[in-house]
Amino acid sequence: MSLTNQETDQRIQMLNQRFADVISAHVVTISDNIYRRYSIQANIGENVIPDDKEGSRNIDNTPRTEWASENVTSYFSEEAYNSMRTTYQASEKEIGRIGDDTPVYFAEKGGIYYMRDPQTRLVLEVWLTWPSYPLGWD
């Protein structure tokens, strides 16, 4: 069944909110030692935007739930999603579901949350290491 533009927009809004809810519930369960690895990477890792001296807000001064929910990226590239899953699949764990057909994953190795909606093909992801590339990024 094909969705209308309005239904697609509504679904995307719902997915964004539920994704934020799932990752916000999970991010507070990450051990301090593991979260510190992501903080170090965020602060000294290779910056996604090399000339950006400011980066984004400081991971160390932002509550975990806020950091995760404010750094959501969305796109519609199945190729990019599959490449990321190939890289991090060994460390991924399903941490929740949105409806019956959309699992939400966390890859501890990289500090990445991600999901792909089969209806809209929307991909949502969060790098806890933002503005630096995740650990293990190729």
pLDDT digits over 35-84, tens only? 999 999 988 888 887 766 555 557 888 899 998 888 899 999 889 899 98
> Total structural domains in the chain?
1
| 137 domain-assigned | no
User: Whats the size of the chain, residue-wise?
Assistant: 138
Place of tokens 């590239």: 77
| 67 domain-assigned | yes
| Bridge partners of residue 75, in order along the sequence | 123
| 12 domain-assigned | yes
| 138 domain-assigned | no
Report whether 132 contacts 47 (CB < 8 A): yes
d(CA 110, CA 136): 6
Give the pLDDT confidence score for residue 4 in this predicted structure: 85
pLDDT digits over 87-128, tens only? 998 999 999 999 888 999 999 999 999 999 988 889 999 999
Q: State the CB neighbour count (10 A cutoff) for residue 76.
A: 12
Tokens of 15: 């997915």
Domain that holds residue 11: 5-127
| 132 domain-assigned | no
